[in-house]
Structure 1
Amino acid sequence: MRLLHTMLRVASLDRSLAFYTDVLGMRLLRRQDYPEGRFTLAFVGYGDEADHTVLELTHNWDTDHYELGTAYGHIAIETADIVATCDAVRARGGKVVREPGPMKHGTTVIAFVEDPDGYKIEFIQR
Structure 2
Amino acid sequence: MTNKMLHTCIRVQNLDKSMAFYTKALNLKETRRKDFPEHQFTLVYLAFEDGGYELELTYNYDKAEPYEIGDGYGHIAIGVDDLKASHAAHEAEGYNVTKLMGLPGTDPTYYFIKDPDGYKTEVIQN
What is the TM-score with the length of structure 2 in the denominator?
0.89
Tell me which amino acid in the other structure corresponds to 1:43: Y
- SS of equivalent to 1:16: helix
When the two structures are aligned, how many residues end up with a matched partner?
A: 123
- SS of equivalent to 1:102: coil
Q: Which residue of 1 is the match for residue 49 of structure 2?
A: 47
Could you list the runs of 5+ residues in structure 1 that have no partner in the other structure? none
Q: Which residue of 1 is the match for residue 16 of structure 2?
A: 14
- SS of equivalent to 2:101: strand
Structure showing the higher strand proportion among its residues: 1
**Among the aligned pairs, what percent are the same residue?**
43
Tell me how far apart the structure 1 counterparts of residues 50 and 82 of structure 2 sit (CA, whole Å): 23
Tell me how far apart the structure 2 counterparts of residues 108 and 5 of structure 1 sit (CA, whole Å): 28
What do you get for the CA RMSD once the two structures are aligned? 1.6
Question: Which residue of 22, 26, 29 maps to 1:27?
Answer: 29
Cα-to-partner distance string for 1:7-26 (whole Å, 9 max, x where unaligned):
00000000000000012111
- SS of equivalent to 1:44: strand
What is the TM-score with the length of structure 1 in the denominator?
0.89
- SS of equivalent to 1:76: strand
